[in-house]
Structure 1
Amino acid sequence: MTDDDQPAAARAGARWRSLLPDLSPWRSSRDFRLMWVAGLVTAFGSFLTLVALPLQVKELTGSAFAVGAIGAVELVPLIVFGLYGGALADAVDRRTLIVLTEAGLGLLSALLLVNSLLPDPMLWPLYVAAAVASALAGLQRPALDAVVARIVPLEQQTAAAALNALRWQLSAIAGPSLAGVVVAYAGLPLAYGLDVLTYLASLVLGLMLTASPPAEDAEKPSLAAIAAGARYAWRRKELLGTYVVDMAAMLFAFPNAIFPFLADDLDAPWALGLMYAAGSVGSVLVSVTSGWTSRIHRHGRMVVLGAAVWGAAMAVAGWAGNIWLVLLALVVAGGADMVSGLFRSTIWNQTIPDELRGRLAGIELLSYATGPQIGQVRAGGMAGLTGVRTAVWSGGVACVAAVGLLAVAIPKLMSYDARTDEHAIRMRELRKGPQDRLEQRDRPTPAA
């Protein structure tokens, strides 16, 4: 390589490195590292139970309805306890809440293990465990989301969201594959037993976290406290926009329930597994090239753009007659959904006051839990009325239209800029140390 070539090569290398995930949260926060590893370990264990539990119901009943009922018993506890968990996360030590719920989830896996070892395993404990686990997850999730803004600097929130998403995607791709092998060749008890071990490991890591106490004037968890969080979200139209844009995207363009019928319509039943995995592949591609996201400041526009591309890609997936084009469209959709999600999370963590963050995370969990469920119902109903492919592409078009209307109706979302938003500025000021404030005060004011 000549000397003339070196600068160009160096610039190319710098551009490539700028696409790689930003690891600054890993370097700056010990607690973030602990939570990331604990989450990875727990997720792998949870996927073991996620595969084992419905399989055991199937073996005990032989009924598809009985297997589907697991989702029904999980939804209501997740919604109810998610809202209450948000208020609780603002009123108690968040580390304590995370650790206690993690211990409870581990205990449930231990009970499933004991039940699986009985000569005649019982059915009812499986439904009870599913419902209680959903309630505990609803209690835990807001605390997990809310604590990130405390342990990671504000300017690193997008990078932290990308790293957390990457952790989840790795688990979502590798976890079910590992679980299938374990269940098929070693049986249900080993799957439950390994899940118990992963909870023990994550519990140890959780106990190593720094305490995260509530504010001195924190409200006690109550309906009034939950309502106060809802009123705050309503007043902050850019926050409200992030919720309703995500709800619209999931309502109109989440057709996963009818993928088996779409695969048959395309004469490609062999591709069903690839269709379910394609979205995760797109999400991973965005996560591993997410270095650029930390340099974006107009986060609201990216939330809208990501949701609109998600809908457009789903429209292509429904319109295309070639299975490979469908798979490509689903990959693009997964990547677009990840972009929208990253910037939704950034707006929340950079602007919501700490004393309200748990309750707002509970509201976010409500939209996260109900949107896809309602979207599945819409897709199935439309498929019965208009055909499978029409249900998919029309939902995608409706998503683009709905997101466009919301962007017009909520201009604060489109105009949001982290550099100038009053809430983001206030949070940055609160996070500054005394020395930072002195330096800011003593800095000369530029001439007009």
Structure 2
Amino acid sequence: MKPWSAFRFRDYRMLWFGSVAAMVTMNLRVLATGIWLYEETGSGVVLAGLGLIELGMRIPANLYGGALADEVDRKKLMAVTQAASFLLIAAMAVLEGSGTLRIWHIYVITAVLSSTSVLGGPARSALTARVVPRSHLMHAVATNTATMQIGTMVTPIVFWFASLTTDLTLSFAVTAGTAAVSAVLPLMIRIDGRAEGSTSGQSRVRNIVDGLKYVKSHPILPGLYLLDIGVTVVSFYRQLFPIFADHLYRGGRGTVSALTWANSAGGLIGSFIVMFTRDYRAKGMLVLWATLLYGVLLIAFGATTVLWVGMIVIVALGATDGVGMTSRQAIVQLTTPDNMRGRAIAAHSLAAMSANGIGQAEVGFMSEMIGADRTMFLGGAISIVVVFLVWWLVKGVRQYRYTDVPSAAAADDDDSQSSQPPFQTGLRDLN
């Protein structure tokens, strides 16, 4: 099967293009707001505060978004949340252009957009398994991860050109434009956006509780989520590139763009690596190996003071992170039924995003206290310990073996909606 096989399906192409636009929107917003705050204050603590705000808003929104994705039309949910991004980012462009943008504006808008982006995230991920057959799902998930990296590779280039002006008005305006595109494309998907066996008759709180119970009883997912949390909390570096550019390389906007591009290039490489691991059945061990190497590379990153060497290390970090993230997402999709998929993905996103928020705060504060280099040394060492603990304590992760099940129809075929193969593939021996 060719790596780009998922693009055979029209609905997947629409989902993919919409995802690229949404990812570019989010990354441009993160870059623009982060650099605006750092240039305005010069404080890593202010950036850390931004991470705490995102965390506080994302936790409830993520749980709610997972339940919504299993109840309502996923296409409309994506469109509405991206429309909110367009309106609020356009407001930041107007405020910056008039010279009235303030720190509290950034904080409030970030809080709202953290909620809306999370509400639409589970719907976008859950829809992937509906627009391609199961036989193409591993490639589709890998392509989705590559989409994220393509978006983040395009972002620093676009941002660099847009930020050549004296202020960041153009950067915010371009971001609003990509948000508008991402709001329209989901509505062009033909397949029914509602989950099979939708639980819309139950209360939303009951649906959330049922989803959490399902994840808790799953033999693999809790271990994967704990691994993600344990590593990311002590190592999250992506949104703190302004700090690393300053502390390690004495650079500014150009250095931030270079580091962001290198991380995205590495993530793209990692996504393509996963596409060629289809016959490697030990998907759980693939996650563990990738995360172990990630911890080692964190230590190497903290030791670099030359930009081009740091970029090479960041490429490798991005690649190992890409392999681990793609494999985790694929395992969630492959082992969860459609009417639980939104909530299972939301739990995964909750683990990742909560860890990102805490990690941004932790790495920001620690960089101020002990320096950026020592923060990465500490994060790498703890990450290695976490990998060994999950390998030892959670047998479901190390024992999981993926088994392919042929799919009878393509996702764009009329009868594909009623011929879904079993979802519990590879789980029987773990229970």
| Correspondent of 2:207 among 216, 225, 228 | 225
| Correspondent of 1:168 among 145, 148, 153 | 148
Question: Cα distance, 1:239 vs. partner?
Answer: 1.3
Q: Which residue of 2 aligns with 1:292?
A: 276
Q: Secondary structure in 2 aligned to 1:212?
A: coil
- 1:375 paired to 2:359: yes
Moved more, 248-257 or 375-384: 375-384
Q: 1:129 to 1:403 in 2, by over 3 A?
A: same
Question: Cα distance, 1:218 vs. partner?
Answer: 0.5
The answer (yes or no) to whether the contact 2:138–2:275 under 8 Å persists in 1 is no
Question: Cα distance, 1:136 vs. partner?
Answer: 0.6
What CA distance in whole angstroms lies between the structure 2 residues aligned with 1:225 and 1:157? Answer: 25
| Correspondent of 2:121 among 141, 146, 151 | 141
What CA distance in whole angstroms lies between the structure 2 residues aligned with 1:386 and 1:96? Answer: 46
Q: Which residue of 1 aligns with 2:193?
A: 212
Moved more, 223-232 or 38-47: 38-47
Q: 1:235 to 1:168 in 2, by over 3 A?
A: same
1:249-300 deviation line (CA, Å, top 9, x unaligned): 213433568877777886x435954555443232222234544133322211
* 1:361 alignment partner AA: I
Q: 1:182 to 1:141 in 2, by over 3 A?
A: same
Question: Cα distance, 1:344 vs. partner?
Answer: 0.7
What CA distance in whole angstroms lies between the structure 1 residues aligned with 2:332 and 2:383? Answer: 23
Q: Which residue of 1 aligns with 2:139?
A: 159
1:43-78 deviation line (CA, Å, top 9, x unaligned): 33444443444566678x657466664444332112
What CA distance in whole angstroms lies between the structure 2 residues aligned with 1:116 and 1:169? Answer: 28
The answer (yes or no) to whether the contact 2:57–2:112 under 8 Å persists in 1 is yes
What CA distance in whole angstroms lies between the structure 2 residues aligned with 1:162 and 1:276? Answer: 20
Moved more, 277-286 or 239-248: 277-286
Q: 1:184 to 1:293 in 2, by over 3 A?
A: same
| Correspondent of 1:251 among 208, 228, 233 | 233
Question: Cα distance, 1:236 vs. partner?
Answer: 1.0
The answer (yes or no) to whether the contact 2:52–2:357 under 8 Å persists in 1 is no
Moved more, 108-117 or 162-171: 108-117
Q: Secondary structure in 2 aligned to 1:213?
A: coil
Q: Secondary structure in 2 aligned to 1:297?
A: coil
Q: 1:375 to 1:107 in 2, by over 3 A?
A: closer
The answer (yes or no) to whether the contact 1:94–1:212 under 8 Å persists in 2 is yes
Q: 1:303 to 1:103 in 2, by over 3 A?
A: same
- Over aligned residues, Cα RMSD in angstroms? 3.6
Q: Secondary structure in 1 aligned to 2:278?
A: helix
Question: Cα distance, 1:341 vs. partner?
Answer: 1.1
1:74-100 deviation line (CA, Å, top 9, x unaligned): 321122101111111111111121122
Q: Which residue of 2 aligns with 1:344?
A: 328
Aligned positions, number: 410
1:218-272 deviation line (CA, Å, top 9, x unaligned): 1545333222111111111211121111112213433568877777886x43595
What CA distance in whole angstroms lies between the structure 2 residues aligned with 1:276 and 1:433? Answer: 40
Report matched runs for 1:396-415 at 5 Å: 396-415=380-399
Q: 1:72 to 1:37 in 2, by over 3 A?
A: same
Q: 1:116 to 1:387 in 2, by over 3 A?
A: closer
The answer (yes or no) to whether the contact 1:407–1:413 under 8 Å persists in 2 is yes
Structure with higher helix content: 1
The answer (yes or no) to whether the contact 2:135–2:405 under 8 Å persists in 1 is no
Q: Which residue of 2 aligns with 1:82?
A: 62
1:317-359 deviation line (CA, Å, top 9, x unaligned): 3457877655444332221111111111111111111111111
Percent of matched pairs sharing the same residue? 26
What CA distance in whole angstroms lies between the structure 1 residues aligned with 2:36 and 2:312? Answer: 34
Q: Secondary structure in 2 aligned to 1:336?
A: helix
The answer (yes or no) to whether the contact 1:93–1:213 under 8 Å persists in 2 is yes
* 1:406 alignment partner AA: V
Moved more, 299-308 or 214-223: 214-223
Q: Which residue of 2 aligns with 1:26?
A: 7
Report matched runs for 1:387-426 at 5 Å: 389-419=373-403
TM-score by length of 1: 0.78
Structure 1 unpaired stretches of 5+: 1-17, 438-448
| Correspondent of 2:180 among 200, 224, 230 | 200
Q: 1:119 to 1:313 in 2, by over 3 A?
A: closer
What CA distance in whole angstroms lies between the structure 1 residues aligned with 2:363 and 2:101? Answer: 36
What CA distance in whole angstroms lies between the structure 2 residues aligned with 1:340 and 1:161? Answer: 12
The higher radius of gyration belongs to 1
What CA distance in whole angstroms lies between the structure 2 residues aligned with 1:51 and 1:385? Answer: 24
Q: Which residue of 2 aligns with 1:8?
A: none
* 2:325 alignment partner AA: G
What CA distance in whole angstroms lies between the structure 1 residues aligned with 2:246 and 2:419? Answer: 62
Q: Secondary structure in 2 aligned to 1:185?
A: coil
- 1:362 paired to 2:343: no
Structure 2 unpaired stretches of 5+: 421-431
The answer (yes or no) to whether the contact 2:156–2:260 under 8 Å persists in 1 is no
* 1:348 alignment partner AA: V
Moved more, 127-136 or 66-75: 66-75
Q: Which residue of 1 aligns with 2:74?
A: 94
What CA distance in whole angstroms lies between the structure 1 residues aligned with 2:307 and 2:95? Answer: 43
Report matched runs for 1:274-293 at 5 Å: 274-293=258-277
Kindly indicate whether structure 1 or structure 2 has the higher relative contact order, using CA contacts under 8 Å at least 6 residues apart. 2
What CA distance in whole angstroms lies between the structure 2 residues aligned with 1:160 and 1:202? Answer: 19
